[in-house]
């Protein structure tokens, strides 16, 4: 605990220094970090290769290795995410309102940093840069605890950012990586109330539930993605096939990939062979209901568990249902509150879907793969919140702030 106590103290001290930085200072530092990542691409890729080799030796499936892997393009994308954060308005210091009370007091609210944010995450090394950028822009210090599978990547990215901060005359403890990846440090981080203001888990359902169930630090729950696409009876079949192909096959191991299909029975015989053909051509296993298996002979029977599963693999479930009522009921019962989409030419059904589906992101005629901080214009994201308190959906800048009441008086005393 002494190890984390020292880290917590350093982060808390840094958070007070960050709160004093101007918008210009923060933007210049973030831009310098983006440049440093690009300049250090060769070293970052070399360290990432160590993680990839280790993962393959352990038999990690390729869809998860994809989440772990970096490339020159992905490092450039990390840097672009930081540059986009530079371009966003700084929410810190914004006065939300001021109202005069009958006694003459002026009372308002001002947006301020949360303070010290802890993030526990798995696999994706790009989270290291994204988390830093968003936290730093909002004047928060961040303590990162990545998984052992990405430790070499996370260390080199963090070291690169810390060096860039030092060159800008800013405390490098704005971002601190916990290099001890044992379970004990994760457990201790969940109890670091003395220093942490909020803890955000990003990873598997098991990790998220462990944090939610055991953390004494307030947690923002980022959810798994059993994302559905409903093909309505009026859907453009070619559009549906293109969207589903993209949503499922572009990247298998991401939380906004489509894992479940729901097909209106009136279009199933026409649409399913075309949609299934696209998926089967890319070696996607289809686990279907009885009707699905009748229309698509290559499909295998689905179990009840399949309707609730986030595969993160080359597998998708498919169920044929009588109409939109049944589709909405099925999706709300089986989903994880992440991202759901309807393919339809019916305005009425699109509005019903938007209004009645309970999820952080609800789409009409678009791929679920757009649920992403960069795509939403947030610059990056800490994760996708599937809870309803404080923040929901991609966690951008505003989600990393809180407010405090500010009061101006001229000598008032309470009677």
Say if residue 118's pLDDT is above 70.
yes
Contact between 175 and 161 under an 8 Å Cβ cutoff? The reply is yes
Q: How far is Cα 247 from Cα 254, in angstroms, rounded to an integer? A: 10
Work out the average pLDDT over 389-411: 89
**In the structure, what pLDDT confidence band is assigned to residue 67 with cuts at 50, 70 and 90?**
confident
pLDDT at 383: 78
The mean per-residue pLDDT over the stretch 100-125 comes to 94
Minimum mean pLDDT among 33-37, 156-160, 321-325, 409-413: which range? 409-413
Mean pLDDT of 106-122: 95
CB 343 within 8 A of CB 239: yes
How many helices and strands in the chain, by DSSP H and E? Answer: 14, 16
pLDDT of residue 99 exceeding 80, the answer is yes
Q: Could you tell me where the beta strands, DSSP code E, fall in 159-214?
A: 175-177, 198-202
Residue 20, C-beta contacts closer than 8 angstroms, at least 6 positions apart: none
3-state secondary structure of 25: helix
Using the structure block, give the residue that is written with the tokens 């055991």.
214
Q: What is the per-residue pLDDT for 352?
A: 97
Select the more confidently predicted residue: 165 or 376: 165
Neighbouring C-beta atoms of residue 16, cutoff 10 Å? 14
- C-alpha distance from residue 243 to each of 45, 264, 311, 347, 367 (Å): 32, 16, 18, 19, 5
Would you say residue 69 has pLDDT above 70?
A: yes
Q: How far is CA 65 from CA 42, 86, 172, 219, 312, in A?
A: 19, 30, 30, 27, 11
Query: 379 pLDDT exceeds 70?
Result: no
Instruction: Please give the sequence-ordered ranges of beta strands (E in DSSP) within 242-327, or none if there are none.
Output: 258-264, 285-288, 300-301, 315-321
pLDDT value, residue 72: 97
Q: Kindly give the residue spans of alpha helices, DSSP state H, lying in 306-366.
A: 324-334, 347-356
pLDDT at 91: 94
| Mean pLDDT computed over every residue of the chain | 93
- Bridge partners for 393 per DSSP: 385
Predicted pLDDT at 381: 73
Query: Contact 342/236 with Cβ under 8 angstroms?
Result: no
Tokens of 283: 């070696």
Instruction: Order across the sheet with 95-100: list the strands.
Output: 95-100, 106-113, 401-408
Domains of the chain: 2-222+382-408 (3.40.605.10), 227-370 (3.40.309.10)
Q: Which two tokens stand for residue 66?
A: 């994809």
Model confidence, pTM: 0.81
In the predicted model, is pLDDT for residue 154 greater than 90?
yes
What is the percentage of the chain residues whose pLDDT exceeds 70?
99
User: CA 82 to CA 73: how far, in whole Å?
Assistant: 14
């Amino acid at each position: 605990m002494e190890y984390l106590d020292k880290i917590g103290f350093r982060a808390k001290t840094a958070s007070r220094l960050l709160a004093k930085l101007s918008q210009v200072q923060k933007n210049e530092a973030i831009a310098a970090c983006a440049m440093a990542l690009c300049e250090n691409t060769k070293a970052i890729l070399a360290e990432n290769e160590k993680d990839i080799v280790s993962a393959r030796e352990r038999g990690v499936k390729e869809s998860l290795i994809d989440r772990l892997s970096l490339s020159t393009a992905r490092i450039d994308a990390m840097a672009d995410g930081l540059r986009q954060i530079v371009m966003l308005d700084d929410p810190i210091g914004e006065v939300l309102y001021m109202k005069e009370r009958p006694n003459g007091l002026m009372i308002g609210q001002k947006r301020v940093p949360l303070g010290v944010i802890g993030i526990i995450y798995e696999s994706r090394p790009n989270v290291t840069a994204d988390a830093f950028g968003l936290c730093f822009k909002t004047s928060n210090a961040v303590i990162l605890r990545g998984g052992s599978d990405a430790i070499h990547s996370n260390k080199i990215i963090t070291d690169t950012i810390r060096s860039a901060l030092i060159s800008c005359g800013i405390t490098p403890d704005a971002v601190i990586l916990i290099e001890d990846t044992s379970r004990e440090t994760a457990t201790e981080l969940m109890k670091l109330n003395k220093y942490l203001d909020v803890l955000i888990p990003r990873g598997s359902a098991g990790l998220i539930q462990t944090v939610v169930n055991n953390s004494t630090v307030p947690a923002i729950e980022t959810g798994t993605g059993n994302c559905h696409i409903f093909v309505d009876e009026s859907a453009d079949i070619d559009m549906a096939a293109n969207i589903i192909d993209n949503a499922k096959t572009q990247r298998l191991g991401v939380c906004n990939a489509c894992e479940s299909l729901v097909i209106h029975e009136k279009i199933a015989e026409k649409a399913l062979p075309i949609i299934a053909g696209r998926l089967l051509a890319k070696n996607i296993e289809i686990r279907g209901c009885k009707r699905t298996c009748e229309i698509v002979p290559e499909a295998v029977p689905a179990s009840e568990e399949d309707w609730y599963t986030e595969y993160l693999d080359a597998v998708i479930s498919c169920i044929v249902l009588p109409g939109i009522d049944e589709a909405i009921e099925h999706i709300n019962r089986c989903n994880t509150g992440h991202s759901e989409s309807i393919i339809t030419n019916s305005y009425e059904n699109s509005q019903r879907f938007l209004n009645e589906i309970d999820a952080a992101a609800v789409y009409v005629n678009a791929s679920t793969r757009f649920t992403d901080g960069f795509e939403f214009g947030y610059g990056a994201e800490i994760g996708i919140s599937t809870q309803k308190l404080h923040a929901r959906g991609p966690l951008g800048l505003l989600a990393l702030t809180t407010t405090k009441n500010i009061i101006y008086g001229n000598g008032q005393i309470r009677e």
